[in-house]
């Protein structure tokens, strides 16, 4: 492989790194955007150690000495990023000098666009200067804050990449990313694009199974499949005003967290959660994800929603995928692997693409996605 890759023009090689709301670890890809079609040359991942995961999780809520803890957590995160970069280079036989830039998203710990002072903020922990030092590669980071400064939601950013990678001339397409949060991309036949967050995907299910079974996620959705949906609880969860908001809209752990779920459980009269009822709650959370995503596709998808392409960790949850299909009769629900890009590589590939656009100085128009005032160059550059 190494000999073949030496023929690739180095300016077209980019690495993308993604650590999402699920806080399970880092996914990375090495992408060649010079080939037609673009290619993923390598994929690597690394889990978070328990202490780093807990530190990042804790920073989603107010606490003591946050600035100090955030700085150290950012350092720890970047060291995992650097490990993934090294794995990508080793797999591919590509040298660090041949990679034009790394796109490093950082770890979102607060997301409050438009709030408080009319501008609000989005905060991704990262230390891109340290990443440039550790890898010897230019780093593009901080992709969301310019969009927020321009009046946008700062999220989702993946629709831009979805259009570039999955768009089909003259045809519509719907893509659903099921990470910690679910976000939907709608590509129109005329080349137009919109996208928005639907609500929780894995964030509540992961938290609930960790609390009750000590597992990081519900493998294949087996635990959810063992329970039954609680209609009254589902109706109460779906009454959350976020689900009725019109796009542009985005969300995260600031709203959807276990304390939010606990309050809804108490309000529903569910105070004693035994083993059977815990599985029922998990089934209800899976139904919340499937039904709210289906609602949004029906509401906003128009005539281009005959096929739904699913990526992110949720695409590997067989039960969740089956519930999505049941909620969308007449819609073909398929994983992104069927289109040549495995579900766990899509978001990392998106940030490789965003790094490419940032290095080129290409402004991206997010008006139809985030509500920003106009096209802006997204991302800041940290030279090697």
> Is 57 found in the same domain as 116?
yes
Sign of the C-alpha dihedral computed for residues 354, 358, 361 and 363 taken in this order = positive
Q: How many structural domains does the chain have?
A: 2
> Is 355 found in the same domain as 337?
no
> Is 327 found in the same domain as 200?
yes
Question: Taking the C-alpha atoms of 116, 117, 118 and 123 in order, what is their torsion angle to the nearest 10 degrees?
Answer: -70
pLDDT at 351: 98
As separate numbers, helices (DSSP H) first and strands (DSSP E) second, the chain gives 14, 13
> Is 44 found in the same domain as 166?
no
Residue 58 near residue 69 (C-beta atoms within 8 A): yes
> Is 183 found in the same domain as 137?
no
How does pLDDT run across 81-112, given as a tens digit for each residue? 999 999 999 999 999 999 999 999 999 999 99
The contacts found for 209-217 with CB under 8 angstroms, 24 or more apart, are: 209/282, 211/258, 212/273, 212/275, 212/278, 216/24, 217/22, 217/24, 217/313
> Is 364 found in the same domain as 319?
no
Nearest to 371 by CA among 217, 222, 195: 195
Residue 228 near residue 283 (C-beta atoms within 8 A): yes
> Is 112 found in the same domain as 8?
yes
- Give the range of the structural domain holding residue 306, as residue numbers without chain letter: 158-343
Residue linked to tokens 């542009």: 248
> Is 339 found in the same domain as 249?
yes
Which residues of the chain, if any, have pLDDT below 70?
Answer: 1-10, 303-304
CA 39 to chain centre: 20
> Is 71 found in the same domain as 13?
yes
Bridge-based pairing of strands 139-141 and 101-104 is parallel
pLDDT at 2: 37
Residue linked to tokens 């340290």: 130
pLDDT at 209: 98
Residue 125 main-chain phi, psi, to 5 deg: -65, 135
pTM above 0.85, yes or no: yes
pLDDT at 361: 97
How does pLDDT run across 285-315, given as a tens digit for each residue? 999 999 999 999 999 997 667 899 999 999 9
- Compute the distance between CA of residue 77 and CA of residue 62 in angstroms, rounded to an integer: 20
> Is 321 found in the same domain as 219?
yes
> Is 216 found in the same domain as 141?
no
Domain harbouring 144, CATH code: 3.30.420.40
Nearest to 279 by CA among 233, 202, 213, 199: 213
Query: Helices (DSSP H) in 13-137: which residue ranges?
Result: 50-58, 66-92, 128-135
Looking at the chain, the whole-number percentage of residues with pLDDT higher than 70 is 97
> Is 333 found in the same domain as 204?
yes
């Amino acid at each position: 492989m190494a000999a073949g890759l030496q023929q690739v023009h180095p300016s077209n090689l980019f690495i993308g790194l993604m650590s999402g709301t699920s806080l399970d670890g880092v996914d990375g890809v090495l992408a060649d955007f010079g080939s037609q079609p673009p290619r993923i040359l390598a994929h690597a991942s690394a889990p978070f150690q328990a202490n780093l995961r807990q530190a990042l999780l804790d920073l989603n809520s107010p606490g003591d000495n946050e600035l100090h803890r955030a700085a150290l957590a950012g350092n720890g995160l970047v060291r995992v990023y650097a490990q993934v970069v090294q794995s990508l280079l080793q797999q591919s036989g590509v040298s660090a000098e041949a990679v034009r830039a790394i796109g490093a998203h950082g770890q979102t710990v607060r997301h409050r666009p438009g709030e408080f002072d009319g501008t609000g903020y989005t905060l991704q922990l990262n230390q891109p200067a340290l990443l440039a030092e550790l890898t010897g590669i230019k780093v593009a980071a901080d992709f969301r804050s310019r969009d927020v400064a321009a009046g946008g939601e700062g999220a989702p950013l993946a629709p831009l990449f979805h259009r570039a990678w999955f768009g089909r001339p003259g045809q519509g397409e719907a893509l659903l990313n099921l990470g910690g949060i679910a976000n939907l991309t709608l590509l129109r036949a005329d080349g137009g694009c919109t996208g928005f967050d639907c609500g929780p995907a894995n964030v509540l299910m992961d938290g609930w199974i960790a609390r009750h079974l000590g597992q990081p996620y519900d493998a294949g959705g087996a635990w959810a499949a063992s329970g039954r949906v609680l209609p009254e609880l589902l109706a109460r969860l779906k009454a959350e005003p976020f689900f009725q908001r019109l796009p542009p809209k985005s969300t995260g752990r600031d709203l959807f967290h276990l304390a939010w779920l606990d309050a809804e459980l108490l309000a529903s009269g569910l105070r004693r959660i035994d083993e059977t009822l815990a599985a029922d709650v998990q089934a209800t959370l899976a139904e919340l994800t499937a039904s709210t995503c289906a609602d949004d596709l029906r509401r906003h998808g128009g005539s281009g929603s005959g096929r739904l392409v699913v990526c992110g960790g949720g695409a590997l949850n067989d039960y969740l995928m089956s519930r999505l299909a049941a909620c969308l009769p007449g819609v073909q629900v398929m994983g992104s692997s069927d289109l040549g890009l495995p579900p766990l590589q899509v978001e990392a590939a998106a940030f490789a693409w965003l790094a490419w656009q940032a290095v080129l100085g290409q402004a991206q128009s997010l008006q139809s996605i985030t509500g920003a005032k106009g096209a802006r160059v997204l991302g800041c550059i940290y030279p090697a």
